[in-house]
Amino acid sequence: MKTPTLFTPLSIRGVSLRNRIAMSPMCQYCASDGVADDWHLVHLGSRAVGGAGLVMVEATAVSPAGRISPGCLGLWNDAQIEPLSRIAQFIRDQGSIPAIQLSHSGRKGSCHPSWAGGAPLTSEQGAWPILSASDVRFRAGDPMPQPATEAELERCLEDFAAAAQRATLAGFDVVEIHAAHGYLLHQFLSPFSNKRTDGYGGSFENRTRFLGQVVTRVREVIPDDAPLFVRLSATDWIPGAWSLEDSTRLAGDLKLHGVDLIDVSSGGIAANAEIPLERGYQVPFSRHIRDNADILTAAVGLITDVDQAEDVVASGDADLVFLGRAFLRDPYWPLRAQATLMHEVYVPAPYRSAFATSR
């Protein structure tokens, strides 16, 4: 019986994933001073036990000002390394690949967690100043972001590089740079939020410069055999803003700078964008970038069914599928998929007695 594509290994640089199923980074907003706790260990570790080929830690801030909320994970100081190291090692011990997403929230920071409404923090609640490409609010009533100076951009580059070094020390095999969903790097990419007139605004080359610099700094400090991913919003879903063709062009440029895979999402730059949410709605973007930029891609977004996920990778729409809410609902989704597609299931040793008999 031919092995389903979903359960074939995927090798990227010096890393080999046991299958094509990855857990998408999903913010939990329950860290203290950026430090991971037992919730993160169980949350992430259970998906590795459940058979994921790769487990991606949620958006992890490269500086205190880069947090979305006070509960965000961080890698801006050495005290944050050890708790994440414990998580990375547990993931690896289960046969999965530990990965981490590095992020700066930009104008979408200094907020309450989404599950607490997501409103901006007040000064009494510990609000901090927010940066962006330009002085353009995300939505009416939000605090006005300050356009980042070149000195602040250089500091941010140093923060990304330092966080990537700490991620390597913590034992993560894959680093992803978050340049999607309306956060700082996306704010520079999109003409909707970037109104600058200096070397970081205006033309495509200028608007993509900051991300290119981040990629270069991060690639320099992580091991040569460590894969580097970038998450992009393939489109802003707004006419005249960031487009699929922009993403495809950028993906080709990023490949030349050492990026190995584009994690293809969409939206997030505008609060009022109309996004046609439907089953697998972002998969065609992954296919387009994969075919036209000649780079590995991951598809994400309302991929929930086993046969659907198999079709995405078997048809060449993507090399990897990232599951989000489906993994929140079922930590053992990959085991169920294996049983469905292969009529057999890998079982962690401590659980095998439950499968040894029909009792």
Catalytic residue numbers? 183
Residue pair 295/252 in contact by the 8 Å Cβ criterion: yes
- The answer to whether 91 and 98 have CB atoms below 8 angstroms apart is yes
Select from 213, 178, 176 the least CA-distant residue to 320.
176
Query: Going by C-beta distance under 8 Å and a sequence separation of 6 or more, which residues neighbour residue 192?
Result: 136, 236, 238, 240, 241, 242, 269, 270
Exposure on the CB side of residue 71, measured as CA atoms within 13 A: 16
Of residues 229, 128, 239, the one with CA closest to residue 180: 229
* Tokens 């198999």, located at residue: 310
φ, ψ (nearest 5 deg) of residue 139: -150, 160
Q: Is 324 helix (H, G, I), strand (E, B) or coil?
A: coil
Pairing state of beta strands 15-17 and 10-12? antiparallel
Which residues share a beta bridge with 73? Answer: 60
Nearest-angstrom CA–CA distance, 288 and 317: 8
Q: What is the CA radius of gyration of the chain?
A: 20
Q: What SS3 class is residue 65?
A: helix
Phi, psi of 81 (to 5 degrees): -70, -50
